[in-house]
């Protein structure tokens, strides 16, 4: 992709009507945590405080994993990228504690005890890649990406050689790329793409490593749905070599 090109996005940007509290969060709180066009990628100034490490979550959906990881790891700066407005609003609700039906306070702030360590990119992450310096991220999460199971849609799958090139560039050597999926086709596809890529090494040594949730895992909505519908998610960790 050329720098001037805007990539084509095939997913949904908007879903159900966004109710009042979440609309207010998008209007009044998102600008406080959004990665603006002039934001500098710098561990000292990018977040509400200096951070030791940076983790990036791509396609955070409803934000449960991102919000949970950020709470557990207060010294890490988190970048979350998502295009789906309803999902972004849900993340904002999780981190501010403001839900539908609660009275809106005059000033919206983070819930008590939560650090200011999340920044949100509310657009296609491929547009953000160009701005992230080499080796900036310590961990990258791509959790339950849209599987695009039909063969003719395979080029839409997020795990592809072009995106892997960017992920390898922005991930520190020794850093982790975690891909979770509940889809058989996507599992095989991901393992093949990463096996072909000399920048990554699958870290699994036995089935226990990838058939079960990693220790630092936070459950997501898609994972719960997959399990309810009888599909078994897999958790694939790759080291940047």
Ligand X SMILES: C[S@@+](CC[C@H](N)C(=O)[O-])C[C@H]1O[C@@H](n2cnc3c(N)ncnc32)[C@H](O)[C@@H]1O
Reduced to 3 states (helix: H, G, I; strand: E, B; else coil), residue 167 is helix
**Cα gap 118→190, rounded to integer Å:** 27
Q: Least distance from C-beta 169 to ligand X, angstroms?
A: 16
**Which pair of structure tokens corresponds to residue 227?**
């399990």
Q: Please give the Cα distance from 20 to 41 (Å, whole number).
A: 33
Count of residues that bind ligand X according to CB under 6 A: 22
Q: Are 68 and 94 in contact (CB under 8 A)?
A: no
CB neighbour list of residue 148: distance below 8 Å, 6 or more residues apart: 10, 154, 156, 157
**Gap between the Cα atoms of 167 and 137, Å rounded:** 9
Closest separation between CB of residue 55 and ligand X, Å? 14
For ligand X, the binding residue among 158, 186, 235, 238 (CB under 6 A) is 158
Decide whether 6 or 23 has the Cβ nearer to ligand X. 6
Task: Please state, in angstroms and rounded to a whole number, the distance separating the CA atoms of residues 77 and 90.
Answer: 19
Beta strands 171-181 and 234-240 are antiparallel
> Which three-class secondary structure state does DSSP give residue 187?
helix
Q: Is 188 exposed, middle or buried (0-12, 13-18, 19+ CB in 10 A)?
A: exposed
Task: Considering only the stretches 47-55, 120-128, 187-195, 232-240, report the one whose residues sit in contact with ligand X under the rule CB under 6 A.
Answer: 120-128
Nearer to ligand X, 59 or 77 (CB): 59
Draw the binding track, 48-87, toward ligand X (x: CB under 6 A; -: no contact): ----------xxxxx------------------xxxx--x
Site map (CB under 6 A) of ligand X, residues 121-150, x = contact: ---xxx----------------xxxx----
Q: Which of 37, 124, 138, 146 is catalytic?
A: 146
To the query of whether residue 146 is one of the catalytic residues in this protein, the response is: yes
- Each residue 159-198 as x (binds ligand X by CB under 6 A) or -, in order, gives ----------------------------------------
Q: Give the catalytic positions in this structure.
A: 146
What is the contact surface with ligand X in residues (CB under 6 A)? Answer: 11, 58-62, 81-84, 87, 124-126, 143-146, 158, 220-222
């Amino acid at each position: 992709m050329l720098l001037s090109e805007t990539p084509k996005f095939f997913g949904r940007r908007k879903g159900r009507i966004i109710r009042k509290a979440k609309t207010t969060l998008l209007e009044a709180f998102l600008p406080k945590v959004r990665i603006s066009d002039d934001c500098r990628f710098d561990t000292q100034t990018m977040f509400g405080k200096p951070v030791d490490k940076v983790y990036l979550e791509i396609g955070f959906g409803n934000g449960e994993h991102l919000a949970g990881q950020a709470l557990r790891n207060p010294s890490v700066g988190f970048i979350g990228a998502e295009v789906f407005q309803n999902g972004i609003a849900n993340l904002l609700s999780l981190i501010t504690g403001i839900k539908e039906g609660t009275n809106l306070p005059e000033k919206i702030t983070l819930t008590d005890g939560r650090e200011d360590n999340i920044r949100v990119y509310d657009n296609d992450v491929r547009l953000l890649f160009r701005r992230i310096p080499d080796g900036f991220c310590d961990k990258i999460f791509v959790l339950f990406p849209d599987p695009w199971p039909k063969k003719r849609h395979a080029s839409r799958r997020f795990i592809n050689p072009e995106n892997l090139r960017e992920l390898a560039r922005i991930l520190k050597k020794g850093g982790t790329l975690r891909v979770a999926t509940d889809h058989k086709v996507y599992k095989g596809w991901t393992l093949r793409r990463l096996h072909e890529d000399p920048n990554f090494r699958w870290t699994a040594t036995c089935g226990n490593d990838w058939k079960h949730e990693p220790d630092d895992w936070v459950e997501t909505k898609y994972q719960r749905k997959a399990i309810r519908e009888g599909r078994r998610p897999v958790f694939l960790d790759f080291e940047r070599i």
